[in-house]
Amino acid sequence: MTVGIVLVSHSAKLAEGLAELAAQMAPDVRIRPAGGLADGGGIGTDYDEVVAAVQRADSGDGVVLLYDLGSAQMTAELAVESLADPSSAVVVDAPLVEGAVAAAVAAQGGADRKAVGEAAASAGLAPDLLAVDADADGVEEKALTLANDVGLHARPAAVLVRSLAGIEAEVSVRLGEREADGHSVLALMSLGARQGDRIVVRAHGPQAGEALAKVTALVEANFGE
Amino acid sequence: MGCTSEGVAVALRAAAEVVAEHRTELIELDRAIGDGDHGENLSRGFTAIVSALETEVPSTPGAVAKLAATTLISKVGGAAGPLYGTAFLRASTKLGDAAEIDVPLLLDALRAALEGVQARGKAVGGDATMVDALIPAVSAAEEAAAGADASVAGVLAAAADAADRGAESTVDLVPRKGRASYLGERAVGHLDPGARSTALLLRAFAEAAR
């Protein structure tokens, strides 16, 4: 089971499109759009639809709701308050698109509701580019060349982050002078690593070796492309 | 002498009429600084409340207020749905299963409605929202309730008067919440549609209680 995600938007198309995008990176997560008004599909937020979407998204581990503008937040909060168990869902203040992607990847990796919410909320902050102290003892590193078509773009970055879920190690990816947190899709994407680029993966912690092996296997398999 | 569930139903029907009468005015106020749907949305919500009351008037004032809340939440898009819905919901919780609304209970309900709206919309006085009508309304209701031979009708009339003045005060304010806040200074000179509708609703309730 994973934490579910509900995307509350004034526009049905926006919510649906974003659910589709986020699902690309998190195939096992229930991501449910709740956009637009019910009758005629006009612009607005529909309380009943949001409540229904929360129920559909919840597989038992709770739900994180993201919203676009103004009344979408109020509708989302009201929907959560009205649930039989209001503590099963939480409305997160996050940039909708980045937050949805970050939340979806965190949920796919098995994060709990709090961690999924935090992943979404922190998506609005500047990516933490420096993750592993290069001078710390016991840092293992490995250089890899990206052969896949899109480099460390959204889906491969998401696959990489997911592969590290549950592994006890700090991981970072270096490209040239820049280094990104290996647990953050957005930070990895912000490196802009493309096909043919040589990245250096660094890991630190009890399972550093396993983390490096996971990333190496992914890169060698072209992230399943 | 209190107000029974039938009294609350009468007040809501009166509110529906007033909202319908002022539908165009509210649309125009909202069009100036928002998206122009406030009159339409509220009208749809109160029409739905009247329909629901035709089927059955719940047996307590609190239950009638809750019916109004759930109907407004479901039928009114935009910010007004969750805001007015929350106001009626919090009021209904305060009313509990009392058979009649007396002055102290009315005061509790009004305070709860204001707190609910502020919690939901996170607006404070001076933001040019319905809160600018509600805050003076609740203060005036408190004063009127403290007077000798205070009545439900008298308290509501005092609240409605104060809400009118409070709504008027939004003309000079720079909106800090909702879509109007995007306009900033350019919205000065416009009456806030939410404050206006709040004043209209309180007036309708006061008239119905006379």
More confident residue, B105 or A37: B105
Sheet with A4-9, side-by-side order of all strands: A31-35, A4-9, A63-67, A89-91
| Mean pLDDT in residue range A121-148 | 75
Q: What percent of chain A has pLDDT over 70?
A: 94
* Residues of B with Cβ-Cβ distance to A9 under 8 angstroms: none
Question: Which pLDDT score, from 0 to 100, does residue A130 have?
Answer: 54
Question: Which pLDDT score, from 0 to 100, does residue B51 have?
Answer: 97
CB atoms within 10 A of CB A93: 12
More confident residue, B23 or A138: B23
Mean pLDDT of chain B: 94
pLDDT digits (tens, 9 = 90+) for A28-64: 999 999 999 877 778 888 999 999 999 999 999 999 9
Chain A, nearest residue to B41 by Cα? A44
Residues A7/A15, Cβ–Cβ less than 8 Å: yes
* Residues of A with Cβ-Cβ distance to B83 under 8 angstroms: 74
Q: Which two tokens stand for residue B181?
A: 């806040």
pLDDT digits (tens, 9 = 90+) for A67-78: 998 889 999 999
Q: Measuring CA to CA, how many Å separate B55 from each of A151, B9, B49, B50, B96?
A: 62, 12, 10, 9, 22
Q: Taking the mean position of all CA atoms in its chain, how far away is CA A187?
A: 11
Q: Which residue is listed with tokens 């965190």?
A: A106
Q: Which two tokens stand for residue B147?
A: 């007077």
| Mean pLDDT in residue range A9-36 | 95
Residues A71/B78, Cβ–Cβ less than 8 Å: yes
pLDDT at A133 over 60: no
Please tell me whether the overall predicted TM-score, pTM, comes out greater than 0.90 for this model: no
Q: What angle do CA A66, A70, A73 make, to 5 degrees?
A: 35
φ/ψ (deg, to 5) at A65: -105, 135
Is A183 designated active site?
A: no
Q: Measured between CA atoms, how close is B139 to chain A, in angstroms?
A: 26
- Residue B77: pLDDT band (50, 70, 90) is confident
Helix/strand/coil for A79: helix
User: Which region, left, alpha or beta, applies to residue A150 given φ > 0 means left and ψ of -120 to 50 means alpha?
Assistant: alpha
Residues A80/A87, Cβ–Cβ less than 8 Å: no
CB atoms within 10 A of CB B97: 9
Given the residues A10, A153, A183, A204, the one annotated as active site: A10
| HSE toward the beta carbon, residue B149, CA cutoff 13 A | 0
- Strand partners for A66: A7
pLDDT digits (tens, 9 = 90+) for A196-207: 999 999 999 999
Cα A23 from Cα A223, distance rounded (Å): 17
| Mean pLDDT in residue range A191-195 | 91
The number of residues making up chain A comes to 225
- Strand partners for A36: A45
Residues 6+ apart with CB under 8 A from A77: A91, B82, B120
Q: Among B201, B137, B204, B122, which residue's Cα sits nearest to residue B169?
A: B137
Question: Which pLDDT score, from 0 to 100, does residue B179 have?
Answer: 83
Question: Which pLDDT score, from 0 to 100, does residue B14 have?
Answer: 97
Q: Among B147, B9, A82, which residue's Cα sits nearest to residue A65?
A: A82
Chain A, nearest residue to B87 by Cα? A78
In this structure, which amino acid lies at residue B122?
A: K
Question: Which pLDDT score, from 0 to 100, does residue A207 have?
Answer: 94
Chain A within 8 Å of B83 (Cβ-Cβ)? yes
ipTM, interface predicted TM-score of the complex: 0.81
Q: Among B103, B114, B182, B190, which residue's Cα sits nearest to residue B149?
A: B103
Element (H, E) at A173: strand A170-175
pLDDT at A117 over 80: yes
First to last CA, chain A: 26
pLDDT digits (tens, 9 = 90+) for B26-61: 999 999 998 888 999 999 999 999 999 999 999 999
Question: Which pLDDT score, from 0 to 100, does residue A37 have?
Answer: 85
